[in-house]
Structure 1
Amino acid sequence: MSEVVRVEDKAFDFTVPVVIVGAGAAGLVAGLAAQEAGADVLVLERDALPRGSTALSAGLIPAAATRWQREAGIADDPERFASDIMSKAKGEPDPALVDLVVREVGPAIEWLSDAYGLAFSVVDDFSYPGHSARRMHGLPSRSGEELIDALRGAAEAAGIEILCEAHVTTLFVNDSGRVLGLRFARPDGTTEEIGCGQLILACNGYGGNKELVNRHIPSLAQALYFGHPGNQGDALLWGEALGAATRHLSGHQGHGSVAHPAGILITWATMTEGGVQVNIRGERFSNESQGYSEQAAEVLKQPEGVAWAIFDERIAGIARQFEDFKRAEAMGAVLSAETWDDLAVRMGVPVENFSATMAEVTRLKAGEGKDSFGRHFEGLAPLSPRFMAVRVTGALFHTQGGLVIDRDARVMDTSSAPLDNLFAAGGAACGVSGSKAAGYLSGNGLLTAVALGRIAGRAAGRAEVEKSSPDAAR
């Protein structure tokens, strides 16, 4: 139960200068930045171990003009990155926010590498839909689990206190709108209350709250939710109770390639490198090159709400740089065969339909132009034995709308004034994907988690340091 309690004044047993709700990528990055700014930090996490949506992702952070791109000979810059974001979301995002995050994210991941030893590299062997340059950066296993573990390790090594199994339920706020402190619950039902100087909301969006999903994204109300169950919309509900402005609450990231029933993310490289999706009738049904987010709804429209991702051994070789794909293979979720007919039999789809579908794909790749769905196959290598297939479904990953913030990640009220000591980062803040799934550009979630996490932590830390300085006392 998320609530805001109005109090004139309140005494707490102890007060922490900067409190952060949520120990995902946004919260841990915010903690590192706040501590570097000179403030003591406490991170509160509802789970027994920090995981969040970050652990469920591919762990890839898009950034432009980084040293890893330069080393790989990749030409890119923030302006080009911003243009890609605005183009994918049809001009809906706030241009100032887009400009802010694309300029901040590159320095942020270089800072994480230099100061905390995170071993980033750029994915340089395939492109993601909508990105005009190869700018996805990840750790060696290309997994969100490795990213969150590395961030947690960095925070612990830096001496940042992370209090787990602490579910924040209540904010205490005075009449002027300043957050005085909060209450959190323990698994045994006991509660504790602490005061705060600055509060950063890094507890993601509302994807795990069926009521809010039904209200804002009714088309995915019955979809598989592949995000963290703790994403219950706490930041949104607290913000609305405090008079905060919100934007693009229908915006979200879906994914049209979650292995079913294994529940493992299958990299979209299987499509961008020349694969296709077919339904249980063995027929293609959409333009797979548009992006994995909007593909979720397309897959869910198909019979039984499932599809098959079709690719070959060459593409599988690219996909194996992702730990999730290797795990799917180990579980037997990836089928293979030497001929289309044999693969159809293994998949349980009509052989004649499927073979005709794949023959058409071969013709399109030979230069017959775009298909009836608008996909261009020029430049894509033909699929060749050994052929592969994974049964997939569409899923909701996380929401992209949220609280409106300023350039310091301060939460803004409906009259465009900043709330006194409240910040938001990652999925708690309105992102840069607009109001529709199709506006999501690959990596937008971790883009705002890392960029806004650092901005919020830095600003909150500085605010506390300035309060305690001799000049502030005068």
Structure 2
Amino acid sequence: MVEQAERSGERVVSVADVSFDVETDVLVAGGGGTGLVAALAASENPDLTVTVLEKSPDVGGNTSLSTGMVPAAGTRLQREAGIEESPADMARDILEKNDYTADEAMVRRLCAESADLVHWLVDDWDVSLSLVDDFKYPKHSEYRMHAPPGRNGANLVAELRARVEETPNVELLTNTPVTTLVADDAGVVGVVAGDRRSEAIAAEKVILATDGFGGNREMITEWCPEIEDAVYFGADGNTGDGIRWGAALGGELACMDAYQGHATVASGQLSTYAVVMNGGVLVNERGERFGDESAGYSAFAVDVLRQPGGHAFELFDERIFERLRGEFDDFDEAVESGVYHEAESVEALAETLGFDADAAAEAVERYNAAAAAGEPDETGREDGVHALEAPFYGAKVTGALFHTQGGLVVDEDARVLREDGTVVENLYAGGGTACGISGHGPGGYLSGNGLTTALGFGRLAGVDARERCRN
């Protein structure tokens, strides 16, 4: 046991102060998308034991709250749909979105691995993914999203959990938080875990998959103050644990001001941004459009929060309503919960929701005229191809914080690096615990960046940990 650690509250303790109770080969801290994928990758050596510890009652983390769409370039699913693109194309879109402020080599590494990741999930682990070829998220130049049933991350997580639980050499425990890293002079040699009763667990390799710090108000205030008052819509367990532990061991931090926001959260319910990308618009209380919605749901979240009252109104029509119904679980849930209101005119919708009717009707007319002419509209938006026509639908929305994108700097195998470029031995990080690929702030987030680093780093970490284990 680790009496000193319990007394002092330290998050990293010396191995000299620890008496290990049990041992495993690969210890995965966190059971979200990163952790589950890392466990599957590590388990492919059947001689290794893999242990996944999740502090929450259930697995999933932010992956379960996402659409579950995995971006990948050069997959056979794309080729079967007649799409030919290279990882370089995907990397270009990511880097252009963040103005090349992300680590270019890491972006290219994850993009190069993306097709193998999807093929591995589908072929080796029988995970259900299909190509999304009916719409593109902002700034994606090609159809490259690979989605689970219902375009719902909870369905992806359910399949990953099932595969983990079916794998003999993997043990998954929930309600079992990792609380402390155990280290020697070179690196990490184990963890302390448990809530009411703690155990010291020796491990050859430790993978930090504890996600970011969106649920830690102090860290948000320090690193992302512009979003500190927004609704938090991420997983409760995102308290920055792994980031702090890695930093305590000398791990370098980068892009800590980066985060993914979302512009359309209505009554505590996500309104999928597919509404906007299929032609919907947002207005404020004055009935004015206040920016180019195709900039993306992350960047636009801040614009929404800057409007009077910190909210806006999402407007769309029956064409969009029918196109999305039955395709997105999030949309169907929002419909069932009464988030959307229907009316025969923009003016009638304004009376129900509380925005300026005349100004909004005129804004929609100008948007329709630009779409009909095939020209950019007054905000510079260029993707409008359909006029919005009665009947109309709408919802009052606000901007929200989903998850952070800054964290520990890792190498191409997801090993944690110190500021001098040396490796913290035996320690890996992925997902929100690792520095992402979105550069700085919210504007560099390209849809799918979260799962690119969650599942991408998860697999890289699991493979490298498996290969470096002595067993």
Task: Select the residue among 41, 57, 61 that pairs with 1:48.
Answer: 57
Match of 1:329 in 2: 335
Question: For the Cα contact (< 8 Å) 1:18–1:196, is it kept in 2?
Answer: yes
User: Normalization by structure 1: what TM-score?
Assistant: 0.94
Aligned residues: 460
Q: Which amino acid aligns with 2:22?
A: F
**Contact 2:128/2:156, CA 8 A, preserved across alignment:** no
When the two chains are superposed, the root-mean-square deviation of aligned CA atoms in Å is 1.4
The CA distance in 1 between the partners of 2:441 and 2:357, in whole Å, is: 36
Match of 1:117 in 2: 126
> Counterpart of 2:14?
6
Give the corresponding residue for 2:315: 310
Report deviation, 1:370: 2.9
Rounded to whole Å, the distance in 1 between the matches of 2:233 and 2:377 is 31
> Larger deviation: 26-35 or 317-326?
317-326
The Cα of 1:209 is off from its aligned counterpart by: 0.5
| Mapped partners of 2:202, 2:256: distance in 1 | 30
Q: One-letter code of the match for 2:360?
A: F
> 2:141: which partner in 1?
132
1:377 shift after superposition: 4.8
Unaligned runs of 5+ in 2: 1-8
Native 8 Å contact 2:366 2:377 kept in 1: no
Choose 120-129 or 366-375, whichever is displaced more.
366-375
Matches within 5 A, 1:438-453: 438-453=443-458
Q: Does residue 413 of the first structure (1) align with residue 425 of the second (2)?
A: no
Counterpart selection for 2:243 from 236, 239, 245: 236
1:223 and 1:395 in contact (8 A); partners too: yes
Letter in 2 for 1:410: R
Work out whether residues 21 and 199 of structure 2, in 8 Å CA contact, stay in contact via their aligned partners in 1.
no
1:77 aligns with 2:83: no
Deviation at 1:415, TM superposition (A): 0.5
Q: Which of 283, 292, 317 is the aligned partner of 2:288?
A: 283
Q: Which residue of 2 aligns with 1:256?
A: 263
The CA distance in 1 between the partners of 2:178 and 2:157, in whole Å, is: 21
Three-state SS of the structure 2 residue aligned to 1:18 is strand
Q: Which residue is 2:174 aligned to?
A: 164
**How far did 1:309 drift?**
1.1
> Which residue is 1:105 aligned to?
114
Give 1:395 shift: 0.6
Equivalent residue number for residue 398 of structure 1: 403
CA-CA distance at 1:207 after TM superposition: 0.7
Counterpart CA distance in 2 for 1:383 and 1:372 is 16
Q: Give the letter for the 1:432 counterpart.
A: I
**Following TM superposition, by how much is the alpha carbon of 1:121 offset from its aligned partner in structure 2, in angstroms?**
0.4
C-alpha distance in structure 2 between counterparts of 1:385 and 1:37, whole Å = 59
Which residue of the partner structure matches residue 219 of structure 2? 212
The one-character-per-residue Cα deviations of 1:306-354 (angstroms, maximum 9, x if unpaired) are 1111111111223221101001001110111122222222222222222
Cα distance in 1 for residues equivalent to 2:109 and 2:305? 35
How far has the Cα of 1:235 moved from its partner? 1.2
Q: In the alignment, what sits opposite 2:276? A: 271
Paired residue for 1:374, among 367, 371, 380? 380
Distance 2:383 2:161 in 1: 42
Which ranges in structure 1 are unaligned for 5 or more consecutive residues?
Answer: 469-474
Match for 1:332: what amino acid?
G
Q: Distance in 1 between matches of 2:378 and 2:386?
A: 20
What amino acid is aligned across from residue 150 of structure 1 in structure 2? E
Which of 345, 351, 356 matches 2:357? 351
* Residue deviations 1:252-279 (CA, integer Å, cap 9, x gap): 11110112x2x22222121122111011
Kept in 1, the 8 Å contact 2:25–2:205? The answer is yes
Q: What residue is the counterpart of 1:199 in the other structure? A: 206
Structure 1 stretches of 4+ moved >4 Å: none
Percent identical:
43
> How far did residue 70 of structure 1 move?
1.2
Question: Contact 2:20 / 2:199 at 8 angstroms: preserved in 1?
Answer: no
Cα offset, 1:109, TM superposition? 1.6
